Amino acid sequence: MDNAENKSGSLAPYTILDLCSDGGSLCSKWLADLGAEVIKIDAPHDDSKIAIDTSVHWRFMNMGKKSITLDLELKSDQEKFRLLARQVDAVIESHPTGWMDERGIGFDALRKETPRLVFTSISPFGRTGPYAHHSGSDLVLSALSGMMYVTGDKDRAPVRVSVPQTYLHGAAEGSVSTTMALYHAAKTGRGQHIDVSSQLATIRALMNATQFPPLEGRNMQRSGAFMEMGPIKWQMVFKAKDGHVCVMLAGGALGGTTIKGFLSWAADDIEVPKALTEIDWKKIEIMTLLFDAEKRKLLDKVCEIFNQFFPLHTKEALYERSLKERLMLAPVCTIEDIRSDEQLKARGYFSAIKEESGKTVHYPGDWAKLSKTPLNTGRRAPLLGEHNDLFFKGSTRRSEEQRAETQQPVLVES
């Protein structure tokens, strides 16, 4: 079976219960990729099955996991969960604040029986503070993290990145923190509660935007296809024949070679003022542009030339020559561009997974190459409750007498 147990990987000794939904599921997927045995717990309801049957997104987020069903509104299933929790290393959940505690399966209850248990919560705003009980869609979190404020054009309303991002940042924080906590528990025998705020995780992805208020006393402004630095404003994204490219125009050692290289190439296609091609752009540093208005006008003229030149060539042609001449240009990739990218193909990034339906689907695969403990990303997502027998009745290797015993969650070798 193509989602068979993975006994290799840097996290192979660990077993994790996954009670996450949507983007939070990516946290435990990464841990499964690293070799952990991840047991996804779903409600035995039709809405879960619909997601499994129809959503490629759901199937990707849950590749390599096992699936069991528990109705955690029932006392009997809550007890089964507690029995399972005593036999695993970590629990990862993304329920509303207080939901787990109200059912007697939160961190405080579980750690009394299993002091070494790592318990990771991924929520919109964290488990404490005035927003702890608030819901948070990706749109809300994009706004309250500041991500929308710096995205879009300066003279238009802020915009959200079209594909939901904020919970994925929370999942990334959760996976790293869970791994560190598992290491700590292995050394000390003490687990801990990891409280991940997706809002805070997204703030950490704003790069230098968070440094503007303390250092400059102002907020960084969104500038669309342009880069702004004090009085300098230069274009970064240009239209090509079949899309767009991003170009580093900074002068100095960083961008001087790029400006000169493209001006020389442009001169083969269009008229380029000799004054621009004769300039040693490596000697025009950022600080020079900050304080010399005449030099800034030269950069404006360069952008005018590039707006005429780049539309004459495809993204691929521009990129290939840039690589040969070490010019700082990158194509703005579509999904099809990514699917056919030669670098990703060379690294075997996409995995062909044969699903239970018999259909083969290509999913993103290895996100890192580990020499001694390679990732195992080539396992399909489970069917709803596919592994109930394994955990509640035992495996097929157990005797009929053992299988006839009361259903209790027992982790067994498969």
Using DSSP, state whether 363 is helix, strand or coil.
strand
Is residue 412's pLDDT more than 50? no
Does residue 216 lie within any of the structural domains?
A: no
> Which pLDDT value is given to residue 112?
96
Phi, psi for 218 (deg, rounded to 5):
-150, 165
Tens digits of per-residue pLDDT, 330-365? 999 999 999 999 999 999 999 898 887 788 989 999
SS3 content of the chain, % helix, strand, coil (to 5): 40, 15, 45
> Range of 254's domain?
225-332
Q: Is the pLDDT of residue 96 over 60?
A: yes
CATH number, residue 304: 3.30.1540
- Please check whether residues 25 and 168 belong to one and the same domain: yes
pLDDT of residue 398: 34
pLDDT digits (tens, 9 = 90+) for 124-148: 999 999 999 999 999 999 999 999 9
Report the alpha-carbon distance of residue 20 to residue 86 in Å, rounded.
19
Across the chain, mean pLDDT equals: 88
The answer on 153 and 287 residing in a single domain is no
Residue 2 lies in a domain: no
Confidence grade of residue 50 (pLDDT, cut at 50, 70, 90)? low
Q: Based on the fold, state whether residues 139 and 166 are members of the same structural domain.
A: yes
One domain, residues 173 and 265: no
Q: Domain boundary at 332, 362, 388, which?
A: 332
Residues 261 and 347 in one domain: no
Pair (199, 249) in one structural domain: no
The pLDDT of residue 410 is 57
Question: What pLDDT is attached to residue 231?
Answer: 73
Tell me, yes or no, whether 277 and 305 share the same domain: yes
Last residue of a domain, one of 303, 332, 361: 332
- Number of separate domains in the chain: 2
Mean pLDDT computed over 12-25: 91
Is 260 in the same domain as 293?
yes
pLDDT band of residue 329 (cuts 50, 70, 90) is very high
Is a pLDDT exceeding 70 seen at residue 393?
no
Same domain, 327 and 351: no
Write phi, then psi, for 390 (nearest 5 degrees). -65, -40
Higher pLDDT, 8 or 170: 170
Report if residue 306 sits inside a domain. yes
In a domain, 294, yes or no: yes
Task: Supply the pLDDT for residue 414.
Answer: 38
